[in-house]
Amino acid sequence: METVAVKASKAYQVEIENGALPTLGTRVASLLPRARQAMLVSDSTVAALYGETAERALREAGLRVHRFTFPSGEASKTPETLCTLWNALAEAGLSRTDCIVALGGGVVGDLSGFAAATYLRGIACYQVPTTLLAMVDSSVGGKTAVDLPAGKNLCGTFSQPVGVLCDPLVLKTLPFRIYADGCAEVIKYGYIGDPTLLQMLETSFIEAPEKVIARCVANKRDVVEADEHDNGARQLLNLGHTGGHAIERLSDFSISHGEAVAIGMLLAAKGAVAKGLCTPDVPTHMEKMLQRYSLPIRCPYGADAMAEAALADKKRRGGEITLVLPKKLGESVLVPMPVTALADFFAAGGAKA
Ligand code: NAD
Ligand code: GLY
């Protein structure tokens, strides 16, 4: 088993172990000895695959288990689903000492975390991520959210979970494209600040992902401990995301988040080289790495459209945008840039002029 200890405003462990799902109940019960009831939150796909195993494990540890299941997909990450979940928690009579167990990908994790942070002004949330992205990113660090029609993740809280359990065996049922999405986030940690991880990724980790997941979680832990509330260093986690969000939006979300981040990382690296901010080996290395994990590398959109879409982000303010740019292999930095220079930067990075 790999364990990563996180010491943010709340301390907790991320445990990574093949075949650990049936031990979920004993882990939750030992962390929360006063809990009598658990709300097991899942989406419809994950509930069908792993809901029964998780429920049994919680029941056998002495917890009364309630289930809340919603349709899979980002379209469910809404205030409406959140409100239905709040009502389900109240109807089940969960008290301050009870807990939510979030079994699923980032959508389940973000929604459950938000519900737990706000129901009765805060109950415990235990995360059981079932996608690679959720294991290496969204289940750790305490960002919770729902989407609004005006944009993604516009309502949420910073609320750390009480614990995280990753069972990499559940990744075997992930559709290939969703696995590849998670690989983009794994690769991202290497270029942000971990040259050793880049070496580990030279050989595909997909058959035995435990150590790579632990390494990514440790990277995320370091950033979150340095800047839990996202005022500085945590923005490094957005490598590839300025271009990536623009690509997602321009493709009307037919290009997935991970695919868009992959293209966005390469744009950032090539643009940084063109501006003399990065060593030229980085984009070459990155291109091979992304292709090794079946991720796309070509930007299908023009620089002006990309800049316009990137600047439409409702959370951005003012005349400057902070880009995350690779500086050398295994190191990235935050670089403020006037918004008027963004189209030129994307063109330098390989978007069509
Ligand atoms: P997701 O939760 O929608 O899961 C993707 C798909 O995989 C879903 O259809 C789901 O049903 C299915 N699935 C999940 N586990 C499975 C398994 N083991 N086997 C088969 N199918 C499975 O998407 P995601 O990529 O996990 O997460 C994306 C969400 O995470 C977005 O809403 C994003 O905003 C959020 N996010 C949050 C943070 C954070 O720090 N809180 C970080 C990154 C992303
Ligand atoms: N995934 C971005 C963050 O946690 O800040």
Where are the chain's structural domains? 2-173, 176-349
CA distance readout (Å), 163 to 97, 193, 291, 335: 15, 25, 34, 34
Cβ-contact 169, 18 below 8 angstroms? yes
Q: Which CATH number fits domain 2-173: 3.60.21.10, 3.50.50.60, 3.40.50.1970, 2.30.42.10?
A: 3.40.50.1970
Topology, domain 176-349: Dehydroquinate synthase-like, alpha domain (1.20.1090)
Rg for the chain, CA atoms, rounded: 20
**Confidence at residue 315, expressed as pLDDT on a 0 to 100 scale:** 64
**Confidence at residue 318, expressed as pLDDT on a 0 to 100 scale:** 76
- Give 196-242 pLDDT, tens digit per residue: 999 999 999 999 999 999 999 999 999 999 999 999 999 999 999 99
Closest atom, ligand 1, to C-alpha of 143: 41
**Cβ of 170 less than 6 Å from ligand 1:** yes
pLDDT of 268 higher than 80: yes
**Cβ of 181 less than 6 Å from ligand 1:** yes
**Confidence at residue 317, expressed as pLDDT on a 0 to 100 scale:** 65
**Confidence at residue 178, expressed as pLDDT on a 0 to 100 scale:** 96
pLDDT of 5 higher than 90: yes
Only one residue has tokens 């260093």, namely 233
**Confidence at residue 312, expressed as pLDDT on a 0 to 100 scale:** 86
C-alpha 158/C-alpha 140 separation (Å) is 11
- Give 297-347 pLDDT, tens digit per residue: 999 999 999 999 999 876 666 789 999 999 999 999 999 999 999 999 999
The closest alpha carbon to 146, from 120, 123, 125, 115, belongs to 115
Cβ-contact 78, 146 below 8 angstroms? yes
Q: Choose which residue among 107, 186, 229, 237 to substitute to test ligand 2 binding: the one with the highest number of ligand atoms within 8 A of its C-beta.
A: 237
Cα 134 to middle of ligand 2, angstroms: 11
Closest atom, ligand 2, to C-alpha of 234: 5
Residue type, 166: C
| No. of helices (H) and no. of strands (E), the chain | 14, 11
**Confidence at residue 64, expressed as pLDDT on a 0 to 100 scale:** 98
**Cβ of 102 less than 6 Å from ligand 1:** no
C-alpha 158/C-alpha 224 separation (Å) is 11
**Cβ of 104 less than 6 Å from ligand 2:** no
**Confidence at residue 38, expressed as pLDDT on a 0 to 100 scale:** 98
The closest alpha carbon to 139, from 170, 116, 106, belongs to 106
Cα 22 to middle of ligand 2, angstroms: 29
Closest atom, ligand 2, to C-alpha of 140: 4
Local structure of 41: helix, strand or coil: strand
- Give 139-183 pLDDT, tens digit per residue: 999 999 999 998 899 999 999 999 999 999 999 999 999 999 999
The closest alpha carbon to 183, from 153, 213, 210, belongs to 213
- Give 79-127 pLDDT, tens digit per residue: 999 999 999 999 999 999 999 999 999 999 999 999 999 999 999 999 9
**Cβ of 109 less than 6 Å from ligand 2:** no
**Cβ of 143 less than 6 Å from ligand 2:** yes
Closest ligand to residue 230's CA: 2
**Cβ of 69 less than 6 Å from ligand 1:** no
What average pLDDT does this structure show over 270-288?
A: 97
Phi, psi of 82 (to 5 degrees): -60, -45
**Confidence at residue 229, expressed as pLDDT on a 0 to 100 scale:** 97
Mean of the per-residue pLDDT values for the chain?
96
DSSP state for residue 309 in the 8-state scheme: H
**Cβ of 216 less than 6 Å from ligand 2:** no
**Cβ of 105 less than 6 Å from ligand 1:** yes
**Confidence at residue 210, expressed as pLDDT on a 0 to 100 scale:** 97
Local structure of 207: helix, strand or coil: coil
**Confidence at residue 288, expressed as pLDDT on a 0 to 100 scale:** 97
Residues whose CB is less than 8 angstroms from the CB of residue 234 and which lie 6 or more positions away in sequence, other chains included: 141, 223, 224, 226, 227, 228
C-alpha 258/C-alpha 41 separation (Å) is 24
Question: pTM of this prediction?
Answer: 0.97
For residues 127 and 350, which has the higher predicted lDDT (pLDDT)? Answer: 127
C-alpha 158/C-alpha 255 separation (Å) is 28
Strand partners, 5: 13
CA distance readout (Å), 224 to 90, 139, 161: 32, 12, 13
Residue nearest to atom 30 of ligand 1 (CA): 106
Closest atom, ligand 2, to C-alpha of 238: 2
